[in-house]
Structure 1
């Protein structure tokens, strides 16, 4: 139960959510955006849970072992074939929308945030279009191959894939974004080590940690997200405390933020 409750931790550092706030026109829209995001999340998550509860009652145990079929089975039970097709199309459209958003986000993170900003700062934006398309295709193919390797495992339901991917995003970015916003001593190397730790900790706590003696069964019930996020936080703090403080970069970042606030 604790592991399921802590799934919400991912919202504090999810890149696909933060980019929406970065796109706001001014600071006055922050509170409005936060309110809309919270209300929408409550409605969507509550609706998903209620569909499962109502489906168990109406279908009277006819779901079988694959309880993820509750939505199409419930639609088939309540509506005519035209509405069933429409409901399935809506679900598939939402899935495809999420997939292409994450692919574009991942490709832009590599092409612009790393290849241009870090490796080649003088590279013009126009030259990134072709590389972005190639990177998107490569990431899609890599994801497809990974799915084929994992699909034969003992946990192959859609919920497991969603939680595993969500845990990877959360453990990689939540500690870094949180510490960047609320801790001035957080360093560049601390951020890098924190993201790497969170990214690697998710498969470790998912595939290998459950077999550890004594603590393994407890980690399995806790799921991989909470310990992976905790490990990333700890590593980020330790590396920042033990490393050199880059005060010049911190002052430059503060100046940039103050300049942006004055313009708005």
Structure 2
């Protein structure tokens, strides 16, 4: 594709719009609370779409359609697990976390919340949880940079190292300038673009094939196993795919959206909007991959790129079926998916460094202006480390991304969930849960395996550790129990 095509112009207009939103958010950012949590001012629509967009990365438009294209509907179990997990997260965690973080000294980050919820004067919880955030998110950010670079490389023939900087620069800039408000507002635009791209593309694929019946007949002839949800999967494999949903309880970049809602009353409507968006986008992604089987079976002369790499199925269908100007808008959805997740991860990492290390350890009395600028500096620091890792797209460290989701889910998920549901949970229980969850994920992944996704043993053992160690030593203090009961009462009233 020529670099002077309408697609490039569309991309540039899109990136320019994101930067403009960043500058508008800059004018609305008055203190550090605004910079990392938007002043807890998000309405239900922004809360819902921001949570969805920050969750669904390039995997939604590249990885999932590609997996369905190659293996058929048996790869859709993960989508079912994610929908169930996200719904439970909205139901049990979202509203409670919004109330509990405010009741616990207006906690701005997860490490902040853990520290105040369990009255941890030793700072052990804060340090350990902030380190978990930084390690996993730096790797996550690197993977996002690589995905953006691959998009520019494949769309415009730009050399990888140049594409790396182009893809990352715009995201880094609007996070640096506008902070949480910029990330949340741009996420809303990006989520809208993603759902448009994933709903319109399968419709045009079916129209190109004639009708739904013709598409189904072609798939049945080409790959009848594509219809089989159980094809090639054992019981353990299905459980492992469904278990991806457990990860939601511990993802900081998603949980922070709940914390930023303007009130607990916002959450029920946000849940309805967020879940509708998620179900439609996942269904669209599955449909793109599924009907892509029929399209390329009928047009083998166009199948070269997808035969080499199934993850290109969405991009190739868009380039083939749409006018270049429309294709540019739809392909911007891939960029939106990458940018929305990368921006959320950059901001959470910056927040951990600024709030949980700089302010908590070095400058307790730092001014709001100082903290905002330190937060911006931390965005740049994390971004440059991620760019360094991503400069070698084949670096082995990127393989860790496959269980970074499990790492967060097992290390933080049980701690977050139980801390919001059980008033007698203690600091010892929280610390034991984090350590057992994180260690189990790594040990299981590296040494045990057995085909079982590591989040399952990690989540179970971390939950058991929380329950056991909360009974060891001093129990929950009267002040901890009172804060919990007050927060729970406020949540029930909401």
TM-score by length of 2: 0.45
Match of 1:192 among 408, 414, 431: 431
Compute the displacement of 1:154 (Å). Answer: 11
Q: Which residue of 2 aligns with 1:177?
A: 416
Contact 2:424 2:481 in 1 (8 A): no
Whole-Å separation in 2 of the counterparts to 1:149 and 1:55: 31
- The verdict on how the C-alpha distance between 1:88 and 1:263 changes in structure 2, with shifts beyond 3 A counting, is same
1:92-142 Cα shifts (integer Å, max 9, x gaps)? 122112101111012213322454357765444333123212322232233
Contact 2:407 2:437 in 1 (8 A): yes
Match of 1:83 among 326, 350, 362: 326
Contact 1:76 1:84 in 2 (8 A): yes
- Confirm whether residue 97 of structure 1 aligns to residue 340 of structure 2: yes
Paired residue secondary structure (2:470) = helix
Whole-Å separation in 2 of the counterparts to 1:154 and 1:130: 30
Whole-Å separation in 1 of the counterparts to 2:364 and 2:482: 17
Compute the displacement of 1:222 (Å). Answer: 2.1
Contact 1:171 1:225 in 2 (8 A): yes
Contact 1:195 1:232 in 2 (8 A): yes
Paired residue secondary structure (1:241) = coil
Compute the displacement of 1:5 (Å). Answer: 1.0
Compute the displacement of 1:229 (Å). Answer: 2.2
TM-score by length of 1: 0.79
Compute the displacement of 1:8 (Å). Answer: 1.4
Q: Which residue of 2 aligns with 1:244?
A: 474
Paired residue secondary structure (2:412) = helix
Q: Which residue of 1 aligns with 2:385?
A: 142
Contact 2:423 2:481 in 1 (8 A): no
Whole-Å separation in 1 of the counterparts to 2:323 and 2:426: 58
- The verdict on how the C-alpha distance between 1:255 and 1:178 changes in structure 2, with shifts beyond 3 A counting, is closer
Q: Which residue of 2 aligns with 1:51?
A: 288
Tell me the C-alpha RMSD between the 2 structures. Answer: 3.2
Compute the displacement of 1:40 (Å). Answer: 1.7
Compute the displacement of 1:255 (Å). Answer: 6.5
Moved more, 128-137 or 58-67: 58-67
Match of 2:465 among 206, 228, 235: 235
Compute the displacement of 1:179 (Å). Answer: 0.8
Structure 2 residues without counterparts, runs of 5 or longer: 1-237
Between 1 and 2, higher relative CO (CA 8 Å, sep ≥ 6) is seen in 2
Q: Write out aligned runs for 1:24-173 (5 A).
A: 24-60=261-297, 62=303, 63-117=306-360, 121-147=364-390, 151-153=394-396, 161=401, 163-173=402-412
- The verdict on how the C-alpha distance between 1:32 and 1:108 changes in structure 2, with shifts beyond 3 A counting, is same
Larger Rg: 2
- The verdict on how the C-alpha distance between 1:98 and 1:187 changes in structure 2, with shifts beyond 3 A counting, is same
Compute the displacement of 1:15 (Å). Answer: 2.6
Whole-Å separation in 1 of the counterparts to 2:372 and 2:382: 15
- The verdict on how the C-alpha distance between 1:105 and 1:228 changes in structure 2, with shifts beyond 3 A counting, is same
Whole-Å separation in 2 of the counterparts to 1:138 and 1:201: 30
Compute the displacement of 1:53 (Å). Answer: 1.1
* Number of matched pairs: 251
Moved more, 114-123 or 245-254: 114-123
Structure 1 residues without counterparts, runs of 5 or longer: none
